Amino acid sequence: MQTPDLFEDNSTALVAGVDEVGRGPLAGDVIAAAVILNGAAPSGVTDSKALSAGRREALAEAIRESALCWSVGRASVAEIDELNILEASLLAMRRAVESLSTQPTLVLVDGNRLPRWPYEAKAIVKGDLSEPVIGAASILAKVTRDAEMLALHQTYPGYGFDQHKGYPTQAHLSALQALGVSPVHRRSFGPVKRLLADPEVG
């Protein structure tokens, strides 16, 4: 459900922000976070990609401690391959919002597409820069996914997940060619799909 361009009175709205991380990588789940702030966002909240890893970690802790509620949703590698990455990202966002302990009356979504859900919602392109509640969600999603990729590095140490977090860097592509496809790689993504079709090509 989409809202009108402007609400006449949002003063009593419980506004959740939601954002996802991990659409571009060749491996790992896509992760979304949803947040309802309790007052103002911690100072420095913005698009997670604009922050250092240390700053993101510190802000994530502050957000978790100060928010009215927050939650994380995901879509698995298998769901990404079955649905496509766009639909899987929307599914992860829906799951994140549905998991909030307090349900919002308005959801602000980063990007230009809304999940299929019953919530009043508005999609905002670059919303993580303009809406602190979306920026907070961006930070939680990024910190969560980065931690999961570090854990995957322990299980599959040859791929460099601790460095590139699954994105298609040259180092990752070279490791994929040398080691083959792991259980956490997205088989529907071009480089992985080509390697599965012809291991000599990659």
Q: Mean pLDDT throughout 123-133?
A: 96
Read off the pLDDT of each residue in 29-45 and give the average, rounded to a whole number: 96
Q: With a cut of 50, say whether residue 78 has pLDDT above it.
A: yes
Helix (H) or strand (E) holding 107: strand 106-110
Looking at the chain, the whole-number percentage of residues with pLDDT higher than 90 is 90
Domains in the chain, CATH or no CATH each? 15-148 (3.30.420.10)
Q: How far apart are CA 128 and CA 18, in angstroms?
A: 9
